[in-house]
Amino acid sequence: MNIGQAAAASGISAKMIRHYESIDLIKPGPRTDAGYRIYNDKDLHTLRFIKRARALDFSLEQIRTLLSLWQDTHRASADVKALALEHVHALDQRITALSEMRDTLADLARSCSGDERADCPILLGLSDPAQDRHCCSNN
């Protein structure tokens, strides 16, 4: 199948497939005499693997490692588990940071009367450097 068909079947755009090839995440498909890339079922399986890993917010480097482990039939599952748990820990940290940001913004919004007056606790909170301690400490 050509790149358009592979894109439709995998749910990854042709542009992203080309990008993954350009960064050596996947091997470029062989080409026809006319220069079109050709993809097979194994390629589709790999593309779907990448799509699912991206949906779980793994980085491209983590996906590169996962692909390598997936393709190594002699791998230790402990290596895969360690990578997954490391990612879970990073996600937990991001969830905590996002929750703190949400709570801070919700507090600022509650303190705003939302009327025609010019004074705005939300803008005051955003412009106050002392607020940096309470939110956005990861930025």
Q: What is the tens place of the pLDDT at every residue in 45-76?
A: 999 999 999 999 999 999 999 999 999 999 99
| Residue percentage of the chain with pLDDT more than 90 | 70
SS3 29: coil
| pLDDT tens profile 13-30 | 999 999 999 999 998 878
Contact 28, 37 (CB under 8 A): yes
Whether the pLDDT of residue 105 is over 80: the answer is yes
> Tell me, what's the pLDDT at 125?
86
Per-residue pLDDT band at 39 (split at 50, 70, 90): very high
Among residues 14, 90, 12, 88, the alpha carbon closest in space to that of 52 is found at 12
> Tell me, what's the pLDDT at 20?
96
Domain boundaries, the chain: 1-75, 76-139
Give domain 1-75's CATH architecture.
Orthogonal Bundle (1.10)
CA 59 to chain CA centroid, Å, is 6
